[in-house]
Structure 1
Amino acid sequence: MTTVGIATGAGRGTGEACARRLADMVDVLLLVDRNEAAAAAVAKELSGTGKRAVAEPLGVDVADREDLERLARRVGELGTLRAVAHAENLPPEEADWRRIIEVDLVGAALLTEALRPLATAGTAFVYCASVSPLIAHIDPDPAVAAVLDDPAQEGFLDLLREVVGPAVEDPAWAYPWATYGVHRFARAEAVRLGPVGARACSLSPGAIDTPETRLEAARHESVRQLIRSTPLGRTGRYEEVAAVAAFLLSDEASFVNGIDLVVDGGLCAAVQDD
């Protein structure tokens, strides 16, 4: 049996770090990224490091159903779906509110919708989210929750704007709403996948040492304060997030399902009463 893994956002950052971990866990690894050249560069590097997996880059937009159908067909051609690390993510600094929600939440739902028919006993999904909805204390009323729980529906963005209000048009608020939706989606997907022996979890990093975090820290005292509030006294690394993703996708986590695992150096523990 040929096992297949997928890492989205694999051309850089957390997605690339997840790809490096998955390359020792499966036989074939699909490196998915909107920037196929970046994914190809990672695949080329992995091919020369003695990793178990054959790495194959694919240019895919996770918000594009046709791209995702192509991805699902490729998985079916190659073997059995074993692990999906969905790390494709747009932070507030990189896009407007619609694109952030499309990639971060709708993309997670559409990716899973395309791959769900391939899930079998032992398949595991991990969705990278964020601690931002925990810090922001996102707690929607039932009307908002009902919209959030169907991110693949027609007109989702307009429906969400209607129930949340104009605040969601601020990328700094769109991001926690989107990642809160990912938390909910992972829990619901765990219930859907359980009967076939497959699992789904989300993963919420805190302040990670990224170019975007460094830029925002230079601009905003609030970001610097969050980093100072982290009990470990530093930002995290991509590799530290990927290590937890790899655990959740591994057989060692075979009874871990439907949870959100926080990887934040203790930040939420420090600010939970704020």
Structure 2
Amino acid sequence: MKASVGLNRYAIEDWEEATEFALGAEKLGVDSLWSAEAWAHDGATPLAYLIAKTSTLKFGSGIFQVGTRTPSLVAMTAMTLDSMSGGRFILGLGTSGPQVIEGWHGIPFRKPVTHTREIIDICRRIFNGETLAYDGEFWGLPLSTERGGTGLGKALRSGAPVCPELPIYVASLGPKNLFMTGAFADGWLGTSFLPEAAETFLGPMREGAESVGRTLESVDIAVGGTVRFTEDIEQAAEALKPSMAFQIGAMGSKTQNFYADAYRRQGWADEVSKIQ
């Protein structure tokens, strides 16, 4: 088992402190550090800053939000960070949700699993140095006249060094997205996860992996959690309630909240209803 840590998921107010945090993690032998993006700092720039300060620590985007960047820009950013770090970057993708994607970015939130799958496919082609020609539901490259283009687009190949081994992880919660993760991703970024109900997540991923001739063991499982050092367990649990209530009650609506649904599937439906 490897240990990883995360930066503040909402906003980094002290960059000196963030640097000390990364250097301390590296000194302790932590495997990787992850940077999130919601509606404050973007997920890539902090990683570039900290990559320049470190030498062995891996860095991951946890996550780049699907739909906020073109697939080619996702690939370009990932390849740049991978080159800057000497191969220490992990590309993490996630769908986010309509409240952020439509509320903050003004982009329609639809068919997130299909959208994620297409971005993975396009990124892998770019990482492999292929000339990019793609015809999907969301993305057509080059953009054809049928899709509203001028017809002048050219099929291009990245000028950056190829990086076919650059890993792609997916943060998925729902059964369909978990299935897709098992079939196509190198790793899973787990959240809203309780070990007692692990099969709620691992089952669909196992099915996805087996559908393409893989095993679940081929998917790196990276599950996050909050760590507190205390002798007062009840006080520690009490301190977690506001953030969990925000996730379950505010990171979505009553009709669509992926976090709340994940807890329901794990057997906490009554508690979720009370929070919402």
TM-score by length of 1: 0.36
Bigger radius of gyration: 2
**Structure of higher RCO (CA pairs closer than 8 Å, 6+ residues apart):** 1
Q: Which structure's residues are more often helix, by fraction?
A: 1
